[in-house]
Amino acid sequence: MKIFPDDSIFEIVARIADRENVKAYVIGGFVRDHIMRRINPERDIDIVVLGDGPAMARAVAREISRDIKVTVFKTFGTAMFRYRNSDIEFVGARKESYSSDSRKPSVTPGTLEDDQNRRDFTINALAISLNRDNPGEVLDPFGGIEDIRNGIIRTPLDPDTTFSDDPLRMMRAVRFAAQLGFRIDAETLASISRNAERIKIVSAERITTELNKIMATAKPSAGFLLLGQTGLLELILPEIARLKGVEDKEGKGHKDNFHHTLKVLDNLAAKSDDLWLRWTALLHDVAKPATKKFVPGTGWTFHGHEYIGAKMVPEIFKRLKLPLNERMKYVQKLVGLHLRPISLVQEEVTDSAVRRLLFEAGEDIDDLMVLCEADITSGNRMKVLKHRENFALVRRKLKEIEEKDAVRTFQPPVHGEEIIATFNLPPGPLIGVIKTAIKEAILDGIIPNDHEAAREFMIRKGEELGLKAGE
């Protein structure tokens, strides 16, 4: 089989490789995607040379433009530069050996065969010759093309050795299966289960990178089911693993919250590519195991799981080395609010309740509604339709109140400085008491959200507190 990628970078590499009498190959994910006709706008292109990888990188970069900056990684004998929409990395063919307590290999020069042997999966061990004596020849020693045709993830060598050497490959197997819609070969899958504990030597940052890639797939549940099946989930996200299972008591059961969570995640993924909203879907019921209680005559309850779940988010984010900034606060907020829209429907959709929801959710109200609608996972069609009608009512009410009261981006119509000047007060707790009273009055619909009404209310409230407005 012969294929020569239609890209000028390969023409340049081929020309320089022939000039320098060096064998050069494009290898790995680019070849896999090229064979699959899979379009990836942000491409990583790996070039293996039988010789000095950084020297080849510099020569190719000079050929393209003197302005291209080449970054050399001396420890690994690699070099890379950015060209168009691609990160192009050059490496000399190498052999790797590992110690039991680290996934960082000892590297020595090797042959193309050695380099293909060290690859994680057969579909990533494919290489294409770039030299003009044999342009476009596909070197496929492990049957990677056949595995692509059959949709299989399989290791080139013994999977126990592959995963023990570099345990991150277990996460990558799951990620590729989820990304590509492939299945993991039975022996490879069994090996992941056997070696799952080895994931403990991998840094949280590396694990989370793979988790985020699984989260970003069209159907993230496929990846999380595999993580659960292999035992990796219990080690990486034990809080989600604990959602598994159904308990029955006095003839009353509850839904499997793990499978419910994955349905919510898939539902949301169909509506939004936002990574952090997807994380919210994954964590929205994370506190159900901690709040589960059986009430005789009623059944199972999970009271307060949204509030406890919101409190759990920072610790989970910290452990996984996820950002602890506004993104974490966003996830935390939506987890804490995810039951509020449905509670509006179950009670009475009052203006006051809607104002308070708008105030608390702020600019994230639309994302909250997307999450809540994704949370409808009933198999009862009539029940689903009823829920959707209810949420449509809430959306209409939200729009109506927002247009009238502008609560989404609420700013106090009366500021602390005005309260201080009006009552000739020093800074202190009374200022906060009056500001809170004004906010509550607006949210309860007692006064409109404007300065004149708020000022009149402020003066009345001040008088109740024994204060006198100055002239």
What pLDDT does 470 receive? 73
Mean pLDDT of 173-198: 97
pLDDT at 258: 96
pLDDT in tens, 337-377: 999 888 776 666 678 888 888 888 989 999 999 999 999 88
**Domains assigned to the chain:** 8-143 (3.30.460.10), 416-464 (no CATH)
Q: Is the pLDDT of residue 186 over 70?
A: yes
Whose CA is closest to 446, among 432, 461, 431?
A: 461
Return d(Cα 345, Cα 205) in angstroms, integer. Answer: 41
Is residue 2 predicted with pLDDT exceeding 80?
A: no
pLDDT at 203 over 60: yes
Give the pairing type, strands 43-49 and 86-92.
parallel
Residue-level pLDDT at 294: 85
Q: What is the pLDDT of residue 362?
A: 87
β 152-153/183-184 pair status = parallel
Separation between Cα atoms, residue 434 and residue 212, nearest integer Å: 45
Q: Answer yes or no: is pLDDT of 257 > 60.
A: yes
pTM of the entire structure? 0.86
pLDDT at 270: 97
Q: Is 381 left (phi over 0), alpha (psi -120 to 50) or beta?
A: alpha
pLDDT in tens, 64-121: 988 899 999 887 789 999 988 889 999 998 776 655 666 565 566 788 888 898 899 9
The whole-number pLDDT of residue 38 equals 87
Helix (H, G, I), strand (E, B) or coil at 27: strand
Q: What are the helix (H) ranges across 186-304? A: 186-195, 204-215, 221-230, 232-236, 238-241, 257-269, 275-283, 288-291
- Which residue shows structure tokens 């199972």? 300
The DSSP result for 224-257, as a single string, is HHHHHHHTHHHHH-HHHHTT-----BTTB----H
Q: Does residue 444 surpass a pLDDT of 70?
A: yes
Residue type at 52 in one-letter notation: D
Residue 392 neighbours by CB under 8 Å, 6+ apart: none
pLDDT for res 144: 96
Mean pLDDT score, 42-70: 91
8 Å CB contact between 378 and 387: yes
The amino acid at residue 78 is T
Give the lowest-confidence range in 145-149, 267-271, 414-418: 414-418
Q: What does the block give as tokens for 69?
A: 């900056």
The span from the CA of 348 to the CA of 160, in Å, is 59
pLDDT by residue (tens digit) across 393-413? 888 888 888 777 777 777 788
Cα–Cα nearest to 218, from 259, 267, 170: 267
Amino acid making up residue 294 = F
Query: Per-residue b/e over 55-86, b at no fewer than 16 CB within 10 Å?
Result: bbbbbbbeeeeeebebebeeeebbbbbebeeb
Q: In the prediction, which pLDDT does 286 show?
A: 97
Summarised one tens digit per residue, pLDDT across range 167-177 is: 999 999 999 99
Place of tokens 């919510």: 264
Distance (Å, whole) CA 304 – CA 292? 10
